[in-house]
Structure 1
Amino acid sequence: MTGPRTTARSTGRTAARTAAGAGAVALALALSGCAGAASDAEADAKSGADGKPPTAISVNLQGTRAKAGAPVKVTLAEGKLTEVTVTDSKGGRLAGTVSADGRAWTSARSAAPGTAYSVRAQDDQGGTATAEFTTAAPELVNKVTLAPGDKRTVGIAQPLSLVFDHPVKNKAEVEKHLKVTTSNNTEGSWGWMEDWSGKSRVDWRPKEYWKPGTKVTLDAELNGVDSGEGGGWFVRDYPMSFTIGKQQVVKVDLGSHRLKLFRDGALVKDAPMSAGTPGGEKASWGGTAVLMSKEGTVNMRSETVGLGNAYNKMVDYSMRLTWSGMYAHAAPWNSAHLGSANTSSGCIGMSDADAAAIYEAVQVGDPFEITGDDAKGTVALNNGYGAWNLDWSQWQAKSALR
């Protein structure tokens, strides 16, 4: 059989030699898998002045349904490659390197599924050749939801968090393509878990709270990576950058019934509060929770958190701390117990004025450190952002690359 039509032409020094009658050196693409049969370009080249066959190269991917997920490799039979360019139909380019002996070029990243590629190679004699191939379309595409979002300013406890639409079985391979860079070389690690929604999720947190002003960049170079069985392919990259804001910590003491906001280590707000009723499901969670969102006025209904018809209220200054429904918010209906007893249905309630002040001051990503014997347990790893409730070695063990 014959391979797909390729083109070859002599340029530079080769063209000069042809003009001088010294014989042409043409570069042709003989696609691997078509050995034993000359391509059109090779056949044309054999009619050169000296009758010599062209120098041959092979490309590991070919045809219209090439397998995605592998690097593109161009191999030269004789001479040395000086330049190889691989571009896709959208104008993207695969970077790569030539081997030390000049005989092979390999792309740094894998070919993505459902993508048409053009290859152009040049040898040390100035000969050039081109070829094209298309990878098979993916049967299933995996997508990613990122937090905290691009170009945001967040608190010192905010992790990077990726939640995947479909299961990720190839966790180590995916993690290899998640690159975090920071402006001050912050030490951190990825950790895998099942999200509260039941989906695959991976978070990156620093060893210690972020330093204010840190610039963080994520390059999730996932295009062309296979999630594994049942997960499908990624067909795009996911970049994100954000900045760490003020150094703020909220300390909630369930025993003294106080919520205190510290900035740069100094107390800036001390508010009486009432947390969850101890001894049952209405108790508050303890440990470190991270402020997930500032949601303003929220209709809170007890049936959504498994507490029957205990309440149905419009609640102001709502600050979400967990997926399971623990908030800090205004609770003027509980004014008799603010600062003296924990009698809420699990949330941390304050007066309207105090809740408004806290709501205005806090940043998404600020840690709420909740202590006291009235807690019903520790915020789980996937119940919002519970990674700070693991020590550093425990967190590192969650990485697929450890």
Structure 2
Amino acid sequence: MTTPARPARSSLSRGAAAVVLGCTAVLATSALSACSGGSGARADDGRGEAPPAARISVSLSGTRAQAGRPVTVELAEGALKRVTVRDSEGGTLDGAVSPDGRTWTSTRPAAPGTSYTVEARDDRGGRAEQRFGTAEAEKVNKLTLAPGKNATVGIGQPLSLVFDHPVKDKAAVERRLKVTTSNGTTGSWGWITDYSGRDRVDWRPKTYWKPGTRATLKAELNGVDSGGEGGFFVRDYTTTMTVGRNQVVRVDLDAHRLTLLRDGEEVRSVPVSGGTPGGDKRSWGGTSVLMAKEGTVNMRSETVGLGDAYDKMVDSSMRLTWSGMYAHAAPWNAAFLGRVNHSSGCVGMSSEDAAWVYAQTQQGDPFEVSGADTKGAPEAGNGYGEWNLSWADWQTRSALS
């Protein structure tokens, strides 16, 4: 790790704000003298005497300072009144002055490849300005965020972030993730391994969402170091979602029925056929969340490890897991619907019933699957399987727990 250069210093003097503005700060380890105008004129305190000099130091200096660290501004004497740290795009780093007024520290780190201007004012009217830049990131981490912006979702939909590169410093990342809801919903972040093998963090409520809730995620990650070989984040992310209808889809594989419940009341029940018992073709049990309504999908058995058993165009396809479990139309299985589980793992229905379920459901609806012979509940990263963990167990997956 590169040791930061000794902080550069800049003088502040009461009454000299106008001339300081015209000075170019020299970023070096030596102190910066107060600028003066004309032929050596000095600010006067009313008694013909210049005020005592005041000096600041900034924790980052030069043009290739190390990113990922907060910016600290220190005042040698007196008290800081205001500090502004602005980047070349007009953005600012928020921060706070210490109780003794001597130090200001940003609440966010300096981002890679960014030029900053520091302006400080003290309690005696003095002003100083200093500039520095940060080195470009050698490696950049990015993420995929779900659901998409302004989505309307079901009561089981989590907020989910999947990272391009490993995140070693999970606590540093999680501290920059802020979820606000319209009704104070209780929830927690939990780190899991996505089905793709990448690091992922989801925020789910303690219980299913209340309909009408509006939730906003702000991932203020610009300047955060993933740790290890993950690289820096170089931007912020945000998304907002609204929770729609209160719907749960219950699939009873022993009774061979799928039932749509809305506000706790049965809307309709249809016959189904689930995965063939006794082997790899069994369906997943537990709770999965409707990830996407994909319409007509070409389903091939080799993609789920079942050889060349089938290659079909399948209508009304509703994805439940990354491993390939869907609810969909299965007219070829008509003889088994409502009677026997005889599919390759999906929940099949008649074309008419599947089209109806497809039209009624929304992304984020929970599918609660029960039956004596399932493969058990899917892992949390296989779709949105976190609802198969107790609230206490889910909370332990937070890096800040």
What TM-score comes out, normalization by structure 2 length?
0.91
Distance in 2 between the 1:364 and 1:26 partners?
Answer: 56
Distance in 1 between the 2:384 and 2:150 partners?
Answer: 20
Distance in 2 between the 1:347 and 1:5 partners?
Answer: 65
Query: Per-residue displacement from partner, 1:8-62 (whole Å, max 9, x unpaired)?
Result: 787xx7269x9xxxxx999999989724xx4365688994445777321111110
1:149-164 correspondence runs (5 A): 149-164=148-163
Structure-2 change in CA distance of 1:45 and 1:71 (3 Å): farther
Question: 2:29 aligned with 1:34, yes or no?
Answer: yes
Distance in 2 between the 1:45 and 1:324 partners?
Answer: 76
Contact kept? 1:6, 1:28, Cα under 8 Å = no
Distance in 1 between the 2:102 and 2:143 partners?
Answer: 38
Structure-2 change in CA distance of 1:373 and 1:79 (3 Å): same
* Structure 2 SS opposite 1:131: strand
Match of 2:85 in 1: 86
Q: What is the Cα deviation at residue 6 of structure 1?
A: 9.0
Q: What is the Cα deviation at residue 82 of structure 1?
A: 1.6
Structure-2 change in CA distance of 1:33 and 1:132 (3 Å): closer
Contact kept? 1:31, 1:59, Cα under 8 Å = no
1:217-256 correspondence runs (5 A): 217-256=216-255
Query: Per-residue displacement from partner, 1:342-392 (whole Å, max 9, x unpaired)?
Result: 001111000111000000000100000000112122111111010011111
Distance in 2 between the 1:381 and 1:163 partners?
Answer: 13
Contact kept? 2:71, 2:110, Cα under 8 Å = yes
* Structure 1 SS opposite 2:268: strand
Contact kept? 1:45, 1:54, Cα under 8 Å = no
- Unaligned 5+ segments in structure 1 are 19-23
Match of 1:378 in 2: 377
Q: What code does the residue aligned with 1:331 have?
A: A
Distance in 2 between the 1:4 and 1:228 partners?
Answer: 25
Q: What is the Cα deviation at residue 78 of structure 1?
A: 2.0
Q: Which moved more, 1:40-49 or 1:242-251?
A: 40-49
Structure-2 change in CA distance of 1:45 and 1:308 (3 Å): farther
Query: Per-residue displacement from partner, 1:211-270 (whole Å, max 9, x unpaired)?
Result: 000110111111111101010001111111101110000000000100000000111111
Query: Per-residue displacement from partner, 1:131-167 (whole Å, max 9, x unpaired)?
Result: 1100111110000100111110100001111000000
Distance in 1 between the 2:83 and 2:185 partners?
Answer: 36
Contact kept? 1:27, 1:55, Cα under 8 Å = no
- Unaligned 5+ segments in structure 2 are 1-5, 43-48
Distance in 1 between the 2:16 and 2:147 partners?
Answer: 57
Match of 1:264 in 2: 263
Match of 1:21 in 2: none
Question: 2:310 aligned with 1:308, yes or no?
Answer: no
Match of 1:295 in 2: 294
Distance in 2 between the 1:350 and 1:392 partners?
Answer: 33
Q: What is the Cα deviation at residue 98 of structure 1?
A: 1.8
Structure-2 change in CA distance of 1:28 and 1:73 (3 Å): farther
Distance in 2 between the 1:27 and 1:57 partners?
Answer: 18
Identical-residue share of aligned pairs (%)? 63
Match of 2:338 in 1: 339
Structure-2 change in CA distance of 1:48 and 1:6 (3 Å): farther
Structure-2 change in CA distance of 1:101 and 1:30 (3 Å): farther
Contact kept? 2:167, 2:199, Cα under 8 Å = yes
Match of 1:183 in 2: 182
1:135-154 correspondence runs (5 A): 135-154=134-153
Distance in 2 between the 1:311 and 1:117 partners?
Answer: 60
Contact kept? 1:253, 1:259, Cα under 8 Å = yes
Distance in 1 between the 2:146 and 2:220 partners?
Answer: 16
Distance in 1 between the 2:39 and 2:370 partners?
Answer: 82
* Structure 1 SS opposite 2:15: helix
Q: What code does the residue aligned with 1:388 have?
A: W
Distance in 2 between the 1:8 and 1:62 partners?
Answer: 16
Match of 2:94 in 1: 95
* Structure 2 SS opposite 1:14: coil
Match of 2:352 in 1: 353
Contact kept? 1:193, 1:202, Cα under 8 Å = yes
Contact kept? 2:11, 2:53, Cα under 8 Å = no
Distance in 2 between the 1:45 and 1:202 partners?
Answer: 60
Q: What is the Cα deviation at residue 125 of structure 1?
A: 2.4
Q: What code does the residue aligned with 2:96 have?
A: T
Q: What is the Cα deviation at residue 76 of structure 1?
A: 1.2
Distance in 1 between the 2:66 and 2:7 partners?
Answer: 17
Question: 2:222 aligned with 1:209, yes or no?
Answer: no
RMSD of aligned alpha carbons:
2.7
Distance in 2 between the 1:308 and 1:115 partners?
Answer: 52
* Structure 2 SS opposite 1:334: helix
* Structure 2 SS opposite 1:213: coil
Structure-2 change in CA distance of 1:200 and 1:395 (3 Å): same
Contact kept? 1:8, 1:26, Cα under 8 Å = no
Distance in 1 between the 2:193 and 2:130 partners?
Answer: 44
Structure-2 change in CA distance of 1:236 and 1:15 (3 Å): closer
Distance in 2 between the 1:201 and 1:4 partners?
Answer: 38
Q: What is the Cα deviation at residue 81 of structure 1?
A: 1.7
Query: Per-residue displacement from partner, 1:90-131 (whole Å, max 9, x unpaired)?
Result: 110111122222222111211111111011111222221111
